[in-house]
Chains A and B, each alone.
Chain A
Amino acid sequence: MVNIDWNAFITVFVSAIAFTTLIVACFSLGVRFLTNAQNSAPKARKGNSKAQQAESLNLVGAYLFFAVCLSALGYGIWLIVPFVSH
């Protein structure tokens, strides 16, 4: 087989695994932090300051990871469109 661009296949494989794992990992971390926050919520509502702190910290973490997840997705799509990426 002559002149087959094997690099293209490697790029597809590496970028698929990298993007997918990144997106899924970030979403999963977001889910974990959000669940943590929800677990502290009942105590936080009763005025437990430690729980309040835990809740807001976990919420910040969760939204941060969801944001990373979304931007990775957006960047991935942006890379595809020749109109904007070239």
Chain B
Amino acid sequence: MDPLFIVGLVVAIALFFDFTNGFHDTANAMATPIATGALRPKVAVGIAALMNLAGAFLSTTVAKTISVDMINPGVNITAQMVFAGLTGAILWNLTTWFLGLPSSSSHALFGGLIGSTMAYFGAEGVNFVKMVEKVFIPALFAPVVAGLVAFTATKVAYIITSRSQAERKAKDISTGRQKFKVGQIFSSSLVALSHGTNDAQKTMGVITLVLVAGGVQTNGDHVQLWVVLSAAIAIALGTYAGGWRIIKTLGTGLSEIKPPQGFAAEVSTGITILASSKFGFALSTTQVASGSVIGVGLGRKGGVVRWGKAGQIFTGWLLTLPAAGLVGAGSAYLTMQGDWGLIVDCILTFAVAAAIFTISRRNKVSSTNLLSEVEGASEVVLSARQIQANAKSQKKAEAKAKQKGKKKGKK
């Protein structure tokens, strides 16, 4: 098969991957402002799409992590190899999405590409030192940093805006914390911007990698303008298209988040992703947002972690990379069989995508599947109000028992 044809195919599939990434992640930026009532859903989705578009133009450092750092110099990258890695990532991503397992598109992409490279060239093909530095460590480090930062920021916000009970009664004033809703318009835009910066660049990296493999470009140091443009447009369109799913956010675990917490979470997510993008760390934006949501939940008085839920999410995160790697390696073995293997792999990917799409449309109404991983993370922390509600019935029962005891004592 003409290598240029495969290059074209990879570009098309990579852009599709970019589109689904936007589709999947609209909620990361916009779920909290919609939940707190800071933005109307339609406006929020429009802003998110525009900000993703803008963010994609900010930098290409993360793209180069894929197109330059990932594979050892001297390895003769082929278009088939990139193709196998990408389809492996998509297959794993769609399956976890369908099963409702917490996963990460970014880690699926890296897993798939690493698996495929190893299948073709063995472990020597992958630059593991760079991968540890730019993918593995950031993957563990960034959500924790975002969580710590969000926790601190929430504490700061509540301390600064606190008013004593006496002051509130004497002057008949509020804390004014509802004003954080206005801030959320900016902070959620920041998250969308950072999402465009980090995630659209991964697509640019893959496209650049395949352009090098196909001989269209001599090395991966430079990302061509049309690549930046198309990746930006694909992620923006995906974000806009994914908006309808956001409306489900109301009344879920995220609705426990108050405006100051939402603001703190979004600023923390946005800044952490932007700072990481600066150094070419290709991290999972979803995991960073999840870390922040857990951090702000704990930052407010009385938040308690449900370790079981946290453990579930964390296991899902750890699983993504190796699992996608196996699928990527599987696709790689298929493509090694020659053209028919490549065609089978292609048909398989499209068939799974089509099947999952039709099934998910049919089940659209069911509320059992989570809107996003961030929503799942928001259920990790029990807020004080939730604990109170749970304990209320118990307290009532206790109070009744006490009253009975007192009455008996008087008699």
Contacts and interface: CB of A to CB of B under 8 A. Distances in A.
Given A25-B156, A32-B160, A32-B176, A80 B183 contact: no
A12 B143 CA distance: 12
B61 A28 contact: no
Contact of A28 (B59, B156, B171, B272): B156
Interface in B113-163: 129, 132-133, 137-138, 141-142, 145-146, 148-150, 152-153, 156-157, 160-161
Contacts of B264: 20, 24
Contact of A9 (B137, B183, B197, B274): B137
Contacts of A19: 271, 275
A1 B160 contact: no
Interface residue range, chain B: 35 or more
Interface of B is mostly: helix
A78 B176 CA distance: 31
Contacts, number: 122
B301 interface: no
Contact of B275 (A15, A31, A34): A15
Nearest to B193: A77
Interface in B22-62: 58-61
Nearest to A79: B278
Contacts of A23: 267, 271
B132 A4 contact: yes
B179 A24 contact: no
Nearest to A13: B145
A10 to B, nearest CB: 11
A18 to B, nearest CB: 9
Contact of B153 (A4, A20, A32): A20
A57 interface: no
Contacts of A21: 149, 152-153, 156
A28 B141 contact: no
Nearest to A70: B186
A52 interface: no
Given A4-B137, A35-B175, A80-B59, A28 B260 contact: yes
A15 B197 CA distance: 18
